[in-house]
Structure 1
Amino acid sequence: MSETGTRAGLRGQLSAAGIVIGCVGCVIITASSVYTALKMGALPWPTIFTSITALVLLRAMGRTSLNEANITQVIMSAGSMVAGGIAFTVPGIWILGLGVEVSWWELLAVALVGTLLGLVCTALIRRRFVEESDLEYPIGTAAAETLLASTAGGSTGRKLFGSMAFAGAWCVARDVLGWIPALVATLPIPGVSFGIQASPMRLSVGFLVGGRSVAWWMAGAVLAAFGITVGGTALGLWDVATAQGIVSSLGMGLMMGSGLGVVAKDIVWPLVRGARDRGGRAGDAAEGATGRAAADATRCTGMLAGALRHLSRLDAGALACFVAAAALICCMGLGLSPLVSVAIVALSFVTAIMSAQSVGQSGIDPMEIFGLIVLLFVAAFSRTTQVQLFFVAGIIAVACGLAGDVMSDFKTGQIIGTDPRTLWIGQAIGALLGAVVAVAVMLAIVAAYGTDAFGADAEFIAAQANVVATMVAGIPSVPAFVIGLVGGTLLYCAGIPAMMLGLGVYLPFYMSLTTAVGALVRVAFDRVRAARAQRAGAAAAKELDETGAVVASGVLGGESIVGVIIAFASVASGLAG
Structure 2
Amino acid sequence: MRAKHLTIRAILTGILLGALLTPCNIYSGLKIGWSFNISIVALLIAAGFWALLDRLRLGSALVAGEGNIAQTTASSSANIISGGLVAPIPALAMLTGANPPPGQLIVWVFAVSFLGIWVAWYLRNSLILCSGLPFPTGRATAETLLEIFDKGREAALKLRVLLASGLLAGGMKWLDTGWTPLPRPGFGFHLPALGQVAGLGTLSAKNLTFTLDPSLMLAGFGAIIGFRAGISLLLGGILSWGILGPLGLYQGFVSPGDADPNAIWFASMIEWLLWPGVAIMVGSALAKFVLHALSSRRRGASRVQSEETKSARPMRLAGLILASGMVVAAQIGFFGIHWLVATLAVPIAFALAMVASRVVGETGIPPIGAIGKISQLSTGVAAPGQMTANLIAANVAGGAAGQSADLLNDFKAGQAIGAPPAFQVVAQIFGILTGSLVGSLVYLRLIPDPAGMLITEEWPAPAVATWKVVAETLSQGLASVPPSALWAVGIGGLLGIAVSAIEHRRGPAWLPSMPALGLAMVIPASLSITMFFGSLVAKLLERWNPSLAQRFLIAAASGLIAGESLTGVARALLGMVG
TM-score grouping bracket, smaller chain normalisation? 0.7 to 0.9
Q: Aligned partner of 2:179: which letter?
A: L
Among 262, 266, 281, the alignment partner of 1:258 is 281
- Report the counterpart of residue 285 of structure 1 in structure 2: none
Deviation at 1:513, TM superposition (A): 1.8
**Amino acid of the structure 2 residue aligned with 1:146:** T
Tell me what 2:201 maps to.
none
- Identity fraction in percent: 22
| Contiguous gaps of at least 5 residues in structure 1 | 282-301, 530-540
For residues 356 and 231 of structure 1, the distance between their equivalents in structure 2, rounded to whole angstroms, comes to: 37
Q: Over aligned residues, Cα RMSD in angstroms?
A: 2.9
Matched, 1:552 2:554: no
**2:246 paired with 1:241:** no
Q: 1:523 to 1:275 in 2, by over 3 A?
A: closer
Tell me the residue number matched to 2:465: 466
2:50 corresponds to which of 54, 58, 70: 58
More helix by share: 1
Assess, with a 3 A threshold, how the Cα gap between structure 1 residues 162 and 334 changes in structure 2: closer, same or farther: same
- 1:276-287 mapped onto 2 (5 Å cutoff): none
Partner in structure 2 of residue 37 of structure 1: 29
Number of the residue aligned with 1:423: 424
Q: What pairs up with 1:7-156 in 2 under 5 angstroms?
A: 12-62=4-54, 63-86=61-84, 87-95=86-94, 97-150=95-148, 151=151, 152-156=154-158
- Provide the TM-score with structure 2 as the length reference: 0.83
Instruction: Tell me, yes or no, if structure 1 residue 490 matches structure 2 residue 498.
Output: yes
2:573 is aligned, of 537, 560, 568, to 568
Q: Is the 8 A contact 1:117 1:348 kept in 2?
A: no
Displacement, 1:526?
A: 2.2
- Following TM superposition, by how much is the alpha carbon of 1:157 offset from its aligned partner in structure 2, in angstroms? 1.8
Distance in 1 (CA, whole Å) between partners of 2:311 and 2:286 is 28
- Aligned equivalents of 1:506 and 1:319: distance in 2? 34
Cα offset, 1:315, TM superposition = 5.1
Q: Structure 2 vs 1, CA of residues 178 and 528 (structure 1 numbering), >3 Å: closer, same or farther?
A: same
Tell me whether 180-189 or 199-208 shows the greater mean CA deviation: 180-189
Letter in 2 for 1:344: A
**CA shift at 1:395, angstroms?**
2.2
| 353-362 vs 468-477, which moves further | 468-477
In the other structure, the counterpart of 1:168 is 170
Hey, what does 1:177 align to over in structure 2?
Answer: 179
TM-score (norm. length: structure 1)? 0.84
In structure 1, how many angstroms separate the alpha carbons of the residues matched to 2:331 and 2:247? 48
Q: Against the structure 1 CA distance between its residues 247 and 463, is the aligned structure 2 distance closer, same or farther, given a 3 Å change threshold?
A: closer
TM-aligned CA deviation for residue 144 of structure 1: 0.5
Amino acid corresponding to residue 259 of structure 1 in structure 2: V
1:252 Cα shift?
3.4
**Residue 476 of structure 2 corresponds to which residue in structure 1?**
none
For 1:552 and 1:334, the matched residues in 2 are separated by: 40
Does structure 1 retain, via aligned residues, the 8 Å contact 2:276–2:521?
no
Q: Residue 346 of structure 2 contacts residue 396 of structure 2 at CA under 8 Å; is this kept in 1? A: no
> Per-residue deviation at 1:409?
0.5
Counterpart of 1:292 in structure 2 is none
Q: Deviations over 1:102-160 (max 9, x none)?
A: 33344334312211211121122222221222211111011111111124533222221
Counterpart-to-counterpart distance in 2, 1:48 and 1:412: 11
Pick closer, same or farther for the CA change 1:178–1:85 going to 2, 3 Å: farther
Residue 194 of structure 1 aligns to a residue in which SS?
Answer: coil
- 1:181-330 residue pairs with structure 2 within 5 A? 181-188=183-190, 189=204, 191-230=207-246, 237-238=251-252, 241=255, 249-266=272-289, 268-272=290-294, 311-314=312-315, 316-330=317-331
Opposite residue 549 of structure 1, the aligned amino acid is I
Give the letter aligned to residue 451 of structure 1: A
Any stretches of 5+ residues in structure 2 without a counterpart?
Answer: 55-60, 191-203, 258-264, 474-480, 504-511
What is the alpha-carbon distance in structure 2 between the residues aligned to residue 69 and residue 196 of structure 1? Answer: 39
Counterpart AA for 1:171 = K
8 Å contact 1:180–1:198 — kept in the other structure?
Answer: no
Contact persistence 2:11–2:70 (CA under 8 A) = yes
CA shift in 2, pair 1:247/1:114, >3 Å: closer
Q: Contact 1:254/1:487 (CA < 8 Å) preserved in 2?
A: no
Deviations, residues 354-377 of structure 1 (Å, cap 9, x unaligned): 122111111011112212222221
Partner of 1:440: 441
- Could you report, residue by residue, the CA deviation over 1:456-477 in whole angstroms, capped at 9, with x for unpaired residues? x432111122111121122564
| Corresponding residue for residue 389 of structure 1 | 390
Aligned equivalents of 2:28, 2:128: Cα separation in 1: 29
* Structure 1 CA distance for aligned equivalents of residues 364 and 513 of structure 2: 12
How many residues in Structure 1 have an aligned counterpart in Structure 2? 525
Return the alpha-carbon distance in structure 2 between the equivalents of residues 195 and 34 of structure 1: 24
Contact kept in structure 2, 1:113 and 1:330, CA below 8 Å: no
Shift of 1:337: 1.8
Amino acid at match of 1:558: G
Contact 1:124 1:307 in 2 (8 A): no
CA contact (8 A) 2:113 2:432 kept: yes
Is the partner of 1:91 in helix, strand or coil? helix
Instruction: Tell me, yes or no, if the aligned pair for 1:250 and 1:484 is still in contact at 8 Å.
Output: no
Cα distance, 1:13 vs structure 2: 0.8
Residue 524 of structure 1 and its aligned partner are, at CA, apart by 2.7
Instruction: Give the match's secondary structure for 2:189.
Output: strand
Give the whole-Å Cα distance in 1 for the aligned partners of 2:498 and 2:271. Answer: 19
- CA distance in 2: counterparts of 1:345 and 1:308, whole angstroms: 27
Which amino acid letter does the alignment assign opposite residue 42 of structure 1?
A: W
Q: In the TM superposition, what whole-angstrom CA distance separates every residue of 1:474-498 from its partner, at most 9, and x where no partner exists?
A: 2564222332233223223333422
1:89 is displaced (CA, Å) by 2.6
Task: Read off the aligned partner of 1:241 and give its amino acid letter.
Answer: S
8 A contact 2:90–2:450 mirrored in 1? no
Equivalences for residues 484-523 of structure 1 within 5 A? 484-495=492-503, 496-523=512-539
| 2-structure distance, mates of 1:310, 1:325 | 24
| Conserved? CA contact 2:88–2:467, under 8 Å | yes
Q: Which one-letter code corresponds to 1:460 in the other structure?
A: W
Question: Residues 279 and 489 of structure 2 are in contact (CA less than 8 Å); yes or no, is this contact kept in structure 1?
Answer: no
For 2:37, the aligned partner's letter is W
SS in 2 for 1:197: coil
Q: Which moved more, 1:70-79 or 1:54-63?
A: 54-63
User: 1:93, CA displacement in angstroms?
Assistant: 2.8
Indicate if the aligned counterparts of 2:222 and 2:532 stay in contact, CA closer than 8 A: yes
CA contact (8 A) 2:271 2:465 kept: no
Contact 2:350 2:397 in 1 (8 A): no
